[in-house]
Amino acid sequence: AQSVTQLDSHVSVSEGTPVLLRCNYSSSYSPSLFWYVQHPNKGLQLLLKYTSAATLVKGINGFEAEFKKSETSFHLTKPSAHMSDAAEYFCVVSVGYGGATNKLIFGTGTLLAVQP
């Protein structure tokens, strides 16, 4: 069965310092992995996705993630945090139907705080 584990429920960084949000996945076959961001009282926005192409995936707003099969990890990083990055971040794996991406399994989320 597919699942994701977000290792930190809260992360706090100072503005201008690097961001690292950790995610480990479990999947019985080559997974599709995503990072979504949710700002307070808003819907979810896709940051980036991995679908077995390049292992280093670049997303919006300067975020990127690296798929490491040997470590079953898909950590999200950003070189320099901005105040507007404060939000909740979800690591997500898909459960496919015949190879398609359909049902999404969400991690429990990491709340990122950015201090001035």
Whether the CB-CB separation of 1 and 28 falls below 8 Å is answered with yes
- Per CB under 8 A, does 67 bind other proteins? no
- Per CB under 8 A, does 59 bind other proteins? no
User: Shortest approach of other proteins to residue 67 CB, angstroms?
Assistant: 12
Q: Cα(62)–Cα(74) distance, rounded to whole angstroms?
A: 16
Pairing label, strands 10-14, 110-115: parallel
- Per CB under 8 A, does 29 bind other proteins? no
How many C-beta atoms surround the C-beta of residue 93 within 10 A? 23
Judged by CB under 8 A, the chain residues 88 through 107 that form the site for other proteins are 90, 94, 96-107
Q: Which residues bind other proteins (CB under 8 A)?
A: 32, 36, 41-46, 49, 51-52, 90, 94, 96-109
